[in-house]
Structure 1
């Protein structure tokens, strides 16, 4: 009997072991994707102007940026273009180092700042970048084109620049992690009769106000670094200084418009513009309205110098944007009224696209205020230690002429999208 029991025990043990091994081999469902990526059937990352707008596209949900399994890509398709956008949950603020292993072209941005860019499609590469990140959600975007190579991406990070690890899945999130707040507070009511657009009252003339836009011509403005000229896309139209925008290849990720493809701002009559005159201490008033999902910027310490190709490289920016439609509206410190990439507007006082917003900017001896629709939303001092510390951690840290005390010029941006300005007036302090 004992031998029988022993034999039964051995059989039960063997069966149990087999069952355990079977259980180990059970396929576990892969985690569900949480952020969107768009795969587009093209043969180059530079999408031509005449591309068919109905070109084949496919939306997929991805879990992370570690795309090593061919099934994570677009089936058997070769030479596709992929664009992905989501967020990273940053637990602890500080400088982060990133390392991206890739096969093919790759461009990666965090909060719209380029971290990694690889142009070679003929070999696998490892590229590194770093960025100071605040705690909380950070927007990431990538554009990817594997060319004829097998698609491959692995994203790693490090806090010390030496010990790297693959970014864990739980750090990745979708765009719901970022809240875009609507208008806060009551709108300022007034019983004062509104004067004609682009005009000065007798009192304003006595106080020293000057019009920077006459409502009928582009006089007083010129293309950045090109005095006496202005691109044909900038025009005086219906009492507003208008940038007419341009058509680009566009698609939507999580409801946000993305525009890609080549742009020649010189040939098509665009480029940034600046005022003919320079100002140091002043109060600037104007109104703006933006197109749907549009983006633009107002600059006020612009320095003209051939070594700079765009006005943002010398001047802080008050953001002009449709927060609800443009993808930058998801990025903290990139929304309408913000000191772009540096200080968020508080409270939020922007109106929807297509409606006029009133701006007041005061600059005196390095102290600057942003006002939007009757409320002060940003203030800072370029002479302070806080300012120096903030700039040292930003993408502007290597720009020696950024935010100079002045005098500087007022500037508007060519950012592809239609925008209107009017009632542009200034008073020197």
Structure 2
């Protein structure tokens, strides 16, 4: 514990390391639910919040990493083995283009850029080299590394290339990119007094006249079912106090620089979760609803969902309007991952989300392939599913391999099981003829 004093330095990389007393022969994935006793080594930033329920025997350390080339024991935690590491930081990207990455490691590793898997070699291995190619926008790219050394000598070495042939280590100055952790302050947009006085989950005479339909009656989950499972809905989805609520689940979590990071696998089927979708499909429509997210929470709204057994989650067939606590969830650091965004594809501009804990009013319009995202009476995203610009954007994204993604025809409305508590109300739809 003495290491903690005097080693507080400026952030370049945020890291958590867990050393579990488990046999590595049973561990083929990096992330495991903590079982039994374990020690955790947090290497973080100045205002790291250590969970209260961590054992008093936990070793805590903070240090400055100048890059992601970690090849000596002192780059990690000395002679320790069987530890888990979660690292998060930023790389300054000058030009938007495809980059080639070369990651040499021992143990098991995942390397992500802006929440997209670039390298995933999660089985415990002796020293191996993995190559990958990913499109990265200019600006501050947020990277994450999940690493489990097993019994092997820990080793991570990162290189990149523009042409796929001439690889080099990333210059240290590209990691000195702390502005990525400064997120623009939230702005708010007042909902009109007429809207605020209207009763929840009720259609006015004017709305009925104009063809609006309720997708949630305020009392039951009728009209909704688990993705790919018509007639059923997980017990974590409930009609409660006039809201459609996903109750969330407890995971192993901690905060670094005020941002929540959650670890551990979950079985959403046994836990009564999974994504839900409407019973009916819609092609041209106007959808309105309100959402409220828990602290550091994450969720999403989908609107072209295609049910098919080859897909296990809504995001693999539908664009997503992001629902997020921008200021507390780690994805709030990632451009195009914030509230209102067309997730991972287009940023919502200007920022229109209200502070966490308040209700946000959504309006999504989809008409003949043209889509608009509105948040609190602000239009911040618009695109055309039939355009060449859309096709080019998808070709550079994590969705490029998904053949049924963003079908411009009929699709279902969906909400996400993303582990965190979220509430919806006043879910209404009007068919556009």
Instruction: Please report the TM-score for the alignment, with normalisation by the length of structure 2.
Output: 0.89
Residue 150 (structure 2) aligns with: 147
Runs of 5+ in structure 2 lacking a partner? 1-8, 22-26, 38-52
Runs of 4+ deviating beyond 4 Å: 49-53
Residues 187-234 of structure 1, C-alpha deviation per residue, up to 9 Å, x if partnerless?
Answer: 354356622100101111111110000101111000000000000000
Instruction: Classify 1:296/1:33 alpha carbon distance in 2 versus 1 (closer, same or farther; 3 Å).
Output: closer
Residue 397 (structure 2) aligns with: 394
Of 321, 324, 328, the residue aligned with 1:321 is 324
Runs of 5+ in structure 1 lacking a partner? 1-30
Of 201, 206, 220, the residue aligned with 1:203 is 206
Of 29, 39, 50, the residue aligned with 2:17 is 39
Residue 406 (structure 2) aligns with: 403
Residue 227 (structure 2) aligns with: 224
8 Å CA contact 1:301–1:404 kept in 2: the answer is: yes
Q: How far apart, in 2, do the equivalents of 1:410 and 1:156 lie? A: 41
**Cα offset, 1:185, TM superposition:** 6.4
8 Å CA contact 1:275–1:410 kept in 2: the answer is: yes
Q: Report how many residues are paired.
A: 399
Does the residue aligned with 2:380 lie in a helix, a strand or coil? strand
Residues 143-202 of structure 1, C-alpha deviation per residue, up to 9 Å, x if partnerless?
Answer: 111111111110000001111111121111355424322233653543566221001011
8 Å CA contact 2:92–2:177 kept in 1: the answer is: no
Residue 310 (structure 2) aligns with: 307
Instruction: Classify 1:188/1:201 alpha carbon distance in 2 versus 1 (closer, same or farther; 3 Å).
Output: closer
**Cα offset, 1:259, TM superposition:** 0.6
Instruction: Classify 1:191/1:408 alpha carbon distance in 2 versus 1 (closer, same or farther; 3 Å).
Output: closer
Q: How far apart, in 2, do the equivalents of 1:109 and 1:193 lie? A: 42
Instruction: Classify 1:101/1:168 alpha carbon distance in 2 versus 1 (closer, same or farther; 3 Å).
Output: same
Instruction: Classify 1:192/1:352 alpha carbon distance in 2 versus 1 (closer, same or farther; 3 Å).
Output: closer
Of 275, 282, 287, the residue aligned with 2:285 is 282
Query: How do residues 350-365 of structure 1 correspond to structure 2 at under 5 angstroms?
Result: 350-365=353-368
Q: How far apart, in 2, do the equivalents of 1:295 and 1:110 lie? A: 18
Q: Which moved more, 1:119-128 or 1:172-181?
A: 172-181
1:376 aligns with 2:361: no
Query: How do residues 93-104 of structure 1 correspond to structure 2 at under 5 angstroms?
Result: 93-104=96-107
Q: How far apart, in 1, do the equivalents of 2:187 and 2:228 lie? A: 39
- What's the Cα RMSD here? 1.7
Does the residue aligned with 2:393 lie in a helix, a strand or coil? helix
Q: How far apart, in 2, do the equivalents of 1:32 and 1:373 lie? A: 36
